[in-house]
Amino acid sequence: MRNIFNNLRSVDRASAGLTAMPALFVLLWSTGFIGAKFGLPYAEPFTFLFIRFVFTLILLIPLVLLIRIPWPSSPRLWTHIALSGFLVHGAYLGGVFYGIYLGMPAGLAALLVGLQPLLTAAFAGPLLGETLSRHQWVGLILGLLGISLVLGSKLEMGDALFDGFGISALLCVTAALLGISLGTLYQKRYCTTMPLLSGAVIQYLAAGALLGCGALLFETRQVEWSSTFVLTLAWLVLILSIAAILLLMALIKKGEASRVASLFYLVPPVTALQAWWLFDERLPLLGLAGMVVAIIGVVMVVRKPANKAG
């Protein structure tokens, strides 16, 4: 009887751990925007990201070799994975970091790129031949309405177009949104057989090369190696670029990836809460209402309708 009780308790613990893993992944993912806010006073965006990818690859490549993860099977697949890396990591992270560098609040940046499921759904029709249901179209409209309310709440009648940032920051984050949306569709179409961990190495190599060129062409490449910058860099490398990827691999292996997707809409409010606590970033009431409307729209687009009985 004692053995049965112990076995049941072990099963309960394992189930509780599995249930908590998707939420943990989303919580870790949301800290990437906060990491940008902490690190950018000490390095320019492309330089910061290039250093991040270099250290990530220094740790990740030996890990892939040690646990003998297979590499992509053909040069064509390598090319497709690299191109998806340009979009999913290069354009996305470069746009987000540059937008925050130019003054956009981390919570607002998270909300804008959190609209990625809306844009992906809109592009999926012409690019992948997928059709949207009626409730997904309603979700798209709600998402656009919500983000309009959020941006409207940040409008200023003074010299600046928005409170604390200008149109350049908005364009950067919009480029990030386009990058992650098109990159997701490209990866879905051409990289379905990509091994996750070795594929991530190829994507990081491609994105690192792109951002390194950006740093050479457009930045001074000066870095202030303060304790804050080093700790922020360590968090982004170890927790975001490696631990979160390994956690995602474990979730996919256990069939829990869909739960991660369903929880991704929590990233903007979690980021906004962290930014309010750490940096006193605030949204007016109209902006908070817009965030709620936008998140509802994302949920409607992502969630599949239940099959009718009979």
- Measure CA 79 to chain center: 22
Is 137 a member of any domain? yes
CB 140 within 8 A of CB 297: yes
Give the tens place of pLDDT for each residue, 43-82.
999 999 999 999 999 999 999 999 888 999 899 999 999 9
Is 31 a member of any domain? yes
Fill in the DSSP letter of residue 43: B
Is 261 a member of any domain? yes
Tell me which residue of 95, 106, 58, 135 sits closest to 299, measured CA to CA.
135
Is 9 a member of any domain? no
Q: How far apart are CA 179 and CA 175, in angstroms?
A: 6
- Name the β-bridge partners of 155: 162
Instruction: State the amino acid at position 19 in one-letter form.
Output: T
Return the pLDDT at 258: 55
Instruction: State the amino acid at position 73 in one-letter form.
Output: S
Give SS3 for 254: coil
Taking residue 129's Cβ as centre, other Cβ atoms within 10 Å add up to 7
Is 6 a member of any domain? no
Q: What is the mean pLDDT of the chain?
A: 80
Give the tens place of pLDDT for each residue, 139-174.
777 777 877 777 666 655 444 556 667 889 989 999
* 27: pLDDT strictly greater than 70: yes
**Highest-pLDDT range among 1-5, 208-212, 251-255:** 208-212
Return the pLDDT at 158: 46
Tell me which residue of 49, 27, 70, 66 sits closest to 207, measured CA to CA.
49
In terms of DSSP H, where are the helices of 40-133? Answer: 45-66, 75-85, 92-101, 106-113, 116-128
**Highest-pLDDT range among 113-122, 146-155, 274-283:** 274-283
- Count of domains forming the chain: 1
Q: What's the distance, Cα to Cα, between the start and end of the chain in Å?
A: 44
- Stated pTM of the model: 0.81
Q: How far apart are CA 5 and CA 197, in angstroms?
A: 38
Look up the domain containing 37 and give its range.
24-302
Is 19 a member of any domain? no
Fill in the DSSP letter of residue 266: G
Return the pLDDT at 212: 96
Q: How far apart are CA 22 and CA 267, in angstroms?
A: 12
Average pLDDT for 273-280: 82
Instruction: State the amino acid at position 6 in one-letter form.
Output: N
Q: Which two tokens stand for residue 198?
A: 């070795």
Pick 275 or 256 by higher pLDDT: 275
- 12 pLDDT band (50/70/90 cuts)? very low
Backbone phi and psi for residue 43, each to the nearest 5 degrees, phi listed first = -160, 150
Is 40 a member of any domain? yes
Is 176 a member of any domain? yes
The DSSP element (H or E) to which 229 belongs, if any, is helix 227-235
CB 33 within 8 A of CB 106: yes
